[in-house]
Structure 1
C-alpha cells in the first residue's frame, strides 16, 4: 500500500476543510428550519438574512471554493505528472494558511483580523507562485 505524498494529503485536507465548513453551515441552516426561524427556501447563498457568523461562514466556504481550482489544480497537476516534489515542501504550509485564513474569517471582521486573514491568504498566493514556477521549470525534465 503506497503512502500519500504531502501534496495528496494537503489536497485531501483542503477538500475536507471545505466540506467541514459546508457541513457546519448546513447543520446550522437545518437547525433554523427545524426551529421554524427560517423557511426551507428562505436562505440566500451569502446568508445575508442570517447572523453575522453565518454570513462569515458563507464567505469562508466561498473563499475555499474559489481557491480550490487554483491551488487544488496546481497540486493535482503535480500529482498527475509525478512532480509532487515541487509542491510537497510547501503543501502543509499551504493547508495551514488556508485553515488559518478561514478560522480568522469565522472569528472576526475587525481590522486586525482582516489584516491577519489577508496575510494568511498572501502566504497561499506566494506558495501558488512558487508552485507554478517550479512546475513550469520542471516541465522540460
Structure 2
C-alpha cells in the first residue's frame, strides 16, 4: 500500500502533536527532577513555568489539539470516501503550515512572529474551507 499525501499529512499532524507533548513532558520532568518545581504545581496554561518557552510550548501544543479534529476529520473523510484526489494537492501544505505555525509560536511572541503564526493558521483554515467546499460540491 502506498502512503498518499493525505495519509502522510494525517500521520504527520498526529506525530507533530505527539512531539510537542513529548517536549512538554520532558520540560516538566526536568523541572521536577531538578527540584525547581513540585510535580503538582504546574498550571495547565504553563503560566508558572520558569521560562517563557514553557508557556509557548503549552500553547503551541494546545493549539495543535484544538485544530487536529478539524484537520483529521476532513483527511479521514477523504480517505473513507475515496476522495483523496481532493486533498492530495494541498495535504502536505496543510501539514507544513501546521508545523510552521507551531514553530513560530515556539520561537517568539514578538509581533513579527505573531503575524507569521497567523499566516500559518490562515493557510490551514483556507485549505480546510476549500476542501469542505469541494466535498460539498459547492465549487470545482
The DSSP-based 3-state class of the residue aligned with 2:136 is helix
> Distance in 2 between the 1:23 and 1:88 partners?
29
Alignment coverage as a number of residue pairs:
137
Is residue 25 of structure 2 the alignment partner of residue 26 of structure 1?
A: yes
Is 1:53 aligned to 2:53, yes or no?
Answer: yes
In 1, the alpha carbon distance for the partners of 2:72 and 2:43 equals 27
SS at match of 1:137: coil
RMSD after superposition: 1.0
Deviates more, 1:36-45 or 1:95-104: 36-45
The equivalent residue for 1:122 is 122
Measured in 1, the distance between the counterparts of 2:40 and 2:2 equals 44
Q: Mark the runs of 5 or more structure 2 residues left unpaired by the alignment.
A: none
Q: Which whole-Å CA distance do the structure 2 matches of 1:45 and 1:89 have between them?
A: 37
Residue of structure 1 in register with 2:5 after alignment: 6
| Runs of 5+ consecutive residues of structure 1 not aligned to the other structure | none
| Structure-2 residue corresponding to 1:101 | 101
CA offset digits 1:39-87 (Å, max 9, x no partner): 1111111111012100000000000000001111110111111111111
**CA deviations over 1:9-60 (Å, ceiling 9, x no partner):** 0010000000000000100100111011111111111111012100000000
- The residue that corresponds to 1:70 in the other structure is 70
TM-score w.r.t. the length of structure 2 is 0.95
The corresponding residue for 1:35 is 34
C-alpha displacement of 1:135: 1.2
Q: TM-score, normalised by structure 1?
A: 0.95
